[in-house]
């Protein structure tokens, strides 16, 4: 993200991957809000972007681009006309008072059932002040999006425990660049606080981003404690123009419906795949499967899955089984950390039929015994 001065105000430049992030959060929030507001027991929704920036950016061509707070405010302001008996609260906060002042000039008007609170300060303090415990019939969506790998788990904790969903930007590129170089007390404390590990241990992680990703997911799971309810974490990588991961966007929810919806929205945002990584068409080249039967297969890139990888996963799971109920097939995907079923069912069925010659009926699939593509 670059920066330029515009009439004395600093406007950030939004790179394509940042614009994708805005799109994903915007689309998800719209779908999340509509789903919940249609639910009788939900009295209202609360959306929080506690590190929201000014909401205004420029793209590479100099066009004005809106960030999350303006996009979400506009969408929810429209939606709330259709739900007069429900309430919406938006909280927007940033360290910078200037940024919040710019943001305010772009926000839609509030109404009797559409409220906006703006403030400047530490976003973690705001989260600690919002009393999520006492508002059981409100549903929360928190966006936690700092510029660096800097997470305050004590502020996030209540949102993992209650009627909340949390979207966390894990700036793993900052850690890879900075953890081993961290010298000052503040820099060391930032990484230690984020990964709940001392710096000596973190340095042994080296450049292995997967260890950091795993660590963040383990912390979230541990913070959930012994809750009897299942918890779901989806994680999607965001690649820059150099095809390097800048961050992972994590979606954390106690609701499988939220988890399914986020996966679907992410795949739709990336145009039918799990990230914007440039795989250079290699994903479709047939290769010999030396570890298996020696027959041709396609390459799977765990940082950018395609529908063919979903079909391969299902075919491998159910290979040789007859008349498997579609309910069981889709349930397998519902639980998967990255693969969606909603929104992609026709494409997945087509791939199973064309590639593996599986027999698709209205209610069942009979999976052939073939190990690889035909």
Ligand X SMILES: C[S@@+](CC[C@H](N)C(=O)[O-])C[C@H]1O[C@@H](n2cnc3c(N)ncnc32)[C@H](O)[C@@H]1O
Helices marked H in the chain: 16-37, 68-79, 97-106, 123-129, 153-161, 172-178, 185-195, 199-205, 209-224, 256-269, 307-318, 326-334, 345-356
Q: β-pairing, 56-58 with 164-170?
A: unpaired
Between 79 and 127, CB nearer to ligand X = 127
Shortest approach of ligand X to residue 294 CB, angstroms? 48
Shortest approach of ligand X to residue 155 CB, angstroms? 9
Between 95 and 330, CB nearer to ligand X = 95
Between 20 and 260, CB nearer to ligand X = 20
Q: Could you tell me if 22 and 66 are in contact, meaning their C-beta atoms sit under 8 angstroms apart?
A: yes
Residue number with the smallest Cβ distance to ligand X? 67
Q: What residues make contact with ligand X under the rule CB under 6 A?
A: 22, 49, 51-53, 67-68, 93-96, 99, 122-124, 143, 145-147
Q: β-pairing, 286-288 with 296-298?
A: antiparallel
Between 49 and 309, CB nearer to ligand X = 49
| Residue carrying the six token digits 């960030």 | 67
DSSP notation for 189-232? HHHHHHHTS-HHHHHHHTT-HHHHHHHHHHHHHHHHTT-SS--E
Shortest approach of ligand X to residue 330 CB, angstroms? 31
Shortest approach of ligand X to residue 275 CB, angstroms? 18
Shortest approach of ligand X to residue 12 CB, angstroms? 8
Classify 225 in phi/psi space as left (phi over 0), alpha (psi -120 to 50) or beta.
Answer: left
User: N- to C-terminal Cα distance for the chain?
Assistant: 45
Shortest approach of ligand X to residue 70 CB, angstroms? 8
Buried b (16+ CB within 10 A) or exposed e, 267-285: bbbbeebbbbbebeeebee
| Residues in the chain, total | 374
Shortest approach of ligand X to residue 206 CB, angstroms? 26
Between 37 and 149, CB nearer to ligand X = 149
Between 70 and 311, CB nearer to ligand X = 70
Between 108 and 343, CB nearer to ligand X = 108
């Amino acid at each position: 993200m670059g920066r330029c001065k515009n009439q004395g105000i600093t406007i950030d430049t939004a790179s394509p991957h940042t614009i994708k992030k805005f799109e994903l959060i915007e689309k998800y929030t719209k779908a999340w809000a509509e789903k919940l507001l249609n639910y009788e027991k939900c009295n209202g929704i609360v959306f929080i972007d506690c590190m929201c920036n000014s909401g205004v950016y420029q793209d590479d061509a100099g066009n004005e681009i809106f960030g999350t707070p303006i996009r979400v405010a506009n969408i929810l302001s429209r939606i709330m006309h259709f739900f007069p008996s429900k309430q919406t609260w938006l909280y927007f906060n940033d360290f910078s008072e200037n940024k919040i002042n710019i943001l305010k000039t772009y926000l839609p008007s509030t109404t009797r059932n559409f409220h906006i609170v703006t403030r400047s300060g530490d976003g973690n303090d705001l989260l600690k002040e919002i009393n999520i415990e006492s508002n059981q019939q409100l549903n929360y969506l928190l966006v936690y999006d700092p510029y660096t790998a800097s997470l305050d788990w004590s502020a996030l904790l209540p949102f993992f425990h209650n009627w909340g969903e949390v979207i966390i930007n894990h700036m793993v590129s900052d850690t890879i660049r900075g953890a081993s170089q961290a010298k000052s007390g503040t820099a060391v404390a930032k990484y230690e606080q984020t990964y709940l590990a001392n710096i000596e241990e973190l340095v042994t992680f080296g450049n292995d981003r997967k260890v950091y990703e795993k660590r963040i997911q383990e912390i979230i799971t541990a913070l959930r404690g012994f809750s009897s309810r299942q918890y779901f974490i989806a994680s999607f990588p965001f690649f820059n123009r150099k095809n390097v991961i800048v961050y992972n966007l994590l979606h954390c929810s106690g609701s499988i419906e939220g988890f399914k919806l986020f996966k679907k929205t992410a795949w739709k945002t990336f145009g039918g795949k799990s990230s914007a990584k440039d795989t250079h068409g290699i994903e479709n080249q047939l290769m010999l499967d030396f570890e298996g039967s020696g027959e041709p297969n396609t390459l799977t890139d765990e940082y950018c899955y395609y529908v063919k990888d979903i079909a391969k996963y299902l075919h491998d799971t159910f290979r040789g089984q007859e008349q498997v109920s579609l309910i069981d097939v889709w349930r397998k995907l519902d639980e998967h950390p990255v693969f969606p079923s909603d929104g992609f069912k026709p494409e997945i069925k087509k791939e199973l039929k064309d590639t593996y010659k599986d027999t698709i009926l209205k209610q069942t699939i009979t999976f052939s015994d073939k190990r690889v593509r035909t």
